[in-house]
């Protein structure tokens, strides 16, 4: 069956870097783009952008341009979200989602000094 499995929770300090993974299985990875969605504690869902898994071209929402980077390891059917120069406000759960139907379980990131 189709699954997206994300990496485990992260605890980081401000200024550090984190890389979250999302491993897909059960379908042809390059057939569907991968979206990334942020959910801050107690808040709603915010679309961060997506990466074309066929071409590798990323698209970022305006609020996520600069410190955020999407990448792929196509041979491993895995997508990555990297956040550089972490800030307290990056504390959130991050979801990967393929086609709206399939979502990862979420990765909780806590940024605290």
Binding site for another protein (CB under 8 A): 44-47, 49, 59, 61-62, 95, 97, 100-101, 103-106
Residues 78, 7: Cα–Cα separation, whole Å? 11
**Closest separation between CB of residue 88 and another protein, Å?**
22
Decide whether 68 or 95 has the Cβ nearer to another protein.
95
Shortest Cβ 60–another protein spacing (Å): 9
Q: Which is nearer to another protein, 1 or 75 (CB)?
A: 1
Longest dimension (CA), the chain: 41
Nearest CA to 4 among 93, 105, 109, 107?
A: 105
CB 75 to another protein: min, Å: 26
Among residues 54 and 103, whose Cβ is nearest to another protein? 103
Asked if residue 34 lies in contact with residue 94, where contact means CB atoms within 8 angstroms, the answer is: no
* Pick 11 or 14: Cβ nearer another protein: 11
Contact call for residues 51 and 72 (beta carbons, < 8 A): yes
Can you tell me the distance from the alpha carbon of 92 to that of 107, in angstroms, rounded to the nearest whole number? 8
Q: How far is the CB of 12 from another protein (least distance, A)?
A: 21
């Amino acid at each position: 069956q189709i699954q997206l499995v994300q990496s485990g929770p992260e605890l980081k300090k401000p200024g550090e870097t984190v890389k979250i993974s999302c491993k897909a299985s059960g379908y042809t990875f390059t057939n569907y783009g991968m979206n990334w969605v942020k959910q801050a504690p107690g808040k709603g869902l915010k679309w961060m952008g997506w990466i074309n898994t066929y071409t590798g071209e990323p698209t970022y929402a305006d609020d996520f341009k600069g410190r955020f980077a999407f990448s792929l390891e196509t041979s491993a059917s895995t997508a990555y979200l990297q956040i550089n120069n972490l800030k307290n406000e990056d504390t959130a759960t991050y979801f990967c989602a393929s086609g709206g139907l399939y979502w990862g379980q979420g990765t909780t990131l806590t940024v605290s000094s």
